Amino acid sequence: MTALQNDLILRTLRGENTERTPVWMMRQAGRYLPEYRATRAEAGSFLDLCKNAELACEVTLQPLERYPLDAAILFSDILTIPDAMGLGLYFTEGEGPKFERPVRTKADIDKLFVPDPNQELQYVMNAVSTIKNGLNGRVPLIGFSGSPWTLACYMVEGSGSKNFARIKRMMYDTPELMHQLLKIVTQSVISYLQAQIQAGAQIVMVFDTWGGNLTTKDYETFSLAYSRQISKALKEFNADVPRLLFTKGAGTWLETMANAGYDGLGVDWTTDLKVARELTKDSVVLQGNLDPTTLYANPETIRSKVRDVLADYGHGHKHIFNLGHGILPDINPEHVTAMIDEVHRSSPAYHQ
Amino acid sequence: MTALQNDLILRTLRGENTERTPVWMMRQAGRYLPEYRATRAEAGSFLDLCKNAELACEVTLQPLERYPLDAAILFSDILTIPDAMGLGLYFTEGEGPKFERPVRTKADIDKLFVPDPNQELQYVMNAVSTIKNGLNGRVPLIGFSGSPWTLACYMVEGSGSKNFARIKRMMYDTPELMHQLLKIVTQSVISYLQAQIQAGAQIVMVFDTWGGNLTTKDYETFSLAYSRQISKALKEFNADVPRLLFTKGAGTWLETMANAGYDGLGVDWTTDLKVARELTKDSVVLQGNLDPTTLYANPETIRSKVRDVLADYGHGHKHIFNLGHGILPDINPEHVTAMIDEVHRSSPAYHQ
């Protein structure tokens, strides 16, 4: 096993005192980079790129060549698990992901199975180990999965949705069916993330993109309860691999989320990090939360807004700098340079 | 002036002790009602319907014929002000509203003017007075406007938007330009709502649909600061007309919003009313917040979720029952009957 040259983010997640705030970006390997677009064109479709370990490794490393980032994140799709369950994932140009066979009835749910990470999801494990080798200890590798609630949203709706009418109807009218679906997805996420850890992931992150469409009670019952099971199972599997949870739109829920067994919580840009810190009482690391659209602004404005985020968090060591959501596809890559440089320049003062 | 037969919502907004929780629905006059769809077909386009005072009155009264609601709300569009400024509002089937001439530059902003409510917006005032006559004192009439930030979002983007790239760039890079735009929109909203009050509106509500896309600081600077100016000007104009403010995605911001001069705050379904009440310390009335998708469920589930919302708020008189956002167009109208009946049935216990 190669020793890490940069373990800043791991030390942060272990709660150690550090010299500066680590920084990475959600979707850092992505369309805003011309070199990504070139590799993507070479690969064919987005799914072809995900399923080609060499090319997935190439795009994962691209942002590290440009920027002094403190972590790499597995390049993959959020919907690999339902696809491996046989739902038939496909993409149409200009629209989001869709499933050929969405899950609508008890019969549909009864047919679901926990995919074997070393069979149906072998291509993801290949990508993890290829990237791990490619990184050669430069920075830690983050593995990830969608949360059970978020995966279930896509599985039931068959695509993204504005109002989530179908899954909400299932949840309200047949909660036992909703739980049956969430249970099998949760078992799948656990086995998937355990396999990513075995393949080399040094941090794992659960993305709850759609948890924010729920009421507080339903969020706790239908999303957080399952994210809690995941963190518990992963901790038992390997307590040395830190766990991150991100619910977009969490707001006041951060208080409850802090007790769900995760080492760190992602915070979107609409919740002030000062407020998030008060809610979580320094019991977890907070990750975020520059408004992704800030990167449309000029570099001087970007630097000033980075300083605002650092000041919002204030003095302390339990902060990972990130955007409050994924980087947007039409951002100028040079603007990212300004953002990261400002974190390097201004964050050490908060660590003294 | 006709005496009101049902002034429950006004008494609630004045902070008086009441016998039960008043109830109305955002977008209660709308596509989920077959009688609305019939009138709309008769009128022609959506804008034709807004501009025909008799038909606008007809659709405003339709939900009151079906349900024992405690308020009527002016049937109009949220973008009447920018349209009156000459931006050229139009609708394309299946998409949201758009502007022919969006506002992008200082020259565009310099050309804007405060529309005269009795000239360019005369059709809205005609609708208000026609509806007021049609109501004949049954329930109070709520007038409304979009918030300056929300109107500016549409004006700069030229339509709805996923990421609000253009207005965010204007806000971050040229805040003085952003403020110039927000100032003239604010003056327009004030004059528009004052005219609605003169024409007969007994409550006014400001809809800040897009405020939730901002950071906490930017929300206070670019949205709430202007909503505050509106409440101040309206209070000076007529202190007897209560003011409501709704920011979708407000979450923890409710605490600051409670000091913005509004009598009541709308709460979306993602914030628990118990938490909202703690944040606002009973200083304002809270309006909300059943998840609109609850109405897809069966009537027994709907009744149970209504009881949950009433219990979340708990004992007290400063609650107006509503959905946490507008009613969805494919809801079964009979499900609304169950919701309202349950408010009538279960809320008196919380008023003793």
Reference B247, options B189, B283, B279, B288; nearest CA is: B288
CB A245 within 8 A of CB A223: no
Active-site residue flag, A77: yes
For residue B95, pLDDT beyond 90: no
Percent of chain B at pLDDT > 90 equals 96
Q: What is the mean pLDDT of chain B?
A: 97
Residue B203 contacts residue B9 (beta carbons within 8 Å): yes
- pLDDT for residue A1 is more than 60: no
For residues A290-297, average pLDDT: 98
Q: Residue B168's pLDDT is what?
A: 97
Among chain A residues, the shortest Cα distance to B213 is held by A270
Beta strands across the sheet bearing A203-208: A72-73, A141-146, A203-208, A243-247, A264-266, A285-290, A319-323
Is B138 one of the catalytic residues?
Answer: no
Q: How confident is the model at residue B206 (pLDDT cuts 50, 70, 90)?
A: very high
Residues of A with CB under 8 A from a CB of B: 163-165, 168-169, 172-173, 212-219, 249, 251-252, 269-272, 275, 291-294, 296-298, 301, 305, 308, 328, 330
Q: Is the pLDDT of residue B94 over 90?
A: no
Of B118 and B92, more confident:
B118
pLDDT digits (tens, 9 = 90+) for B218-273: 999 999 999 999 999 999 999 999 999 999 999 999 999 999 999 999 999 999 99
Mean pLDDT of the region B275-292: 98
The dihedral formed by the CA atoms of A196, A202, A203 and A209, expressed in degrees to the nearest 10: -40
Distance CA A87, CA A98 (A): 9
If one counts every other C-beta atom within 10 angstroms of the C-beta of residue B111, the result is 12
- What mean pLDDT comes out for the span B287-298? 97
Q: In the predicted model, what is the mean pLDDT of chain A?
A: 97
Average pLDDT of the segment spanning B153-164: 94
Which chain B residue has its CA at the smallest distance from A219's CA?
Answer: B270
pTM metric for this prediction: 0.96
Amino acid B131: pLDDT:
98
Most A CBs within 10 A among B153, B210, B296, B332, hence the mutation to make, goes to: B296
Which residues from A are below 8 Å from B292, CB to CB? 163
Sign of CA pseudo-dihedral B191, B196, B197, B199 = positive
3-state secondary structure of A86: helix
CB atoms < 10 A from the CB of A60, how many? 25
Of B32, B36, B67, B154, which one is the catalytic site residue? Answer: B154
Q: By percentage, how much of chain A surpasses pLDDT 70?
A: 99
Mutation choice for B interface testing from A296, A301, A325, A339 by most B CBs within 10 A: A296
Q: Which of A218, A252, A293 sits opposite B168 (nearest CB)?
A: A293
Catalytic site residue B27?
yes
Give the 3-state secondary structure of residue A291. Answer: coil
pLDDT tens track for B48-72:
999 999 999 999 999 999 999 999 9
For residue B305, pLDDT over 60 is answered with yes
pLDDT for position A93 = 77
Residue A2's pLDDT band, with cuts at 50, 70 and 90, is low
Mean pLDDT across the stretch A340-350? Answer: 98
Interface test with chain A among B291, B302, B325, by most A beta carbons within 10 Å: B291
Two tokens, residue A293: 């659209």
pLDDT at res. B96: 87
pLDDT digits (tens, 9 = 90+) for B208-219: 999 999 999 999
Q: What is the pLDDT of residue A132?
A: 98
B173/A308 Cβ within 8 A: no
User: Which tokens hold the place of A259?
Assistant: 């007790």
pLDDT at residue B2, rounded to an integer: 67
Structure-token match 């007529």, residue found: B238
pLDDT band per the 50, 70, 90 thresholds, residue B90: very high
pLDDT tens digits for range A238-286: 999 999 999 999 999 999 999 999 999 999 999 999 999 999 999 999 9
Instruction: Look at residue B3 in the predicted model and tell me its pLDDT.
Output: 86
Which residues of chain B lie closer than 8 angstroms to A338, CB-CB?
Answer: none
3-state secondary structure of B296: helix
Determine the residue type at B38.
Answer: A
Rounded Cα–Cα distance for residues B99 and B182 (Å)? 17
pLDDT at position B1 over 60: no
Q: Please list, residue by residue across A80-93, b when 16 or more beta carbons sit within 10 angstroms of its beta carbon and e when fewer do.
A: bbbbbbebebeeee
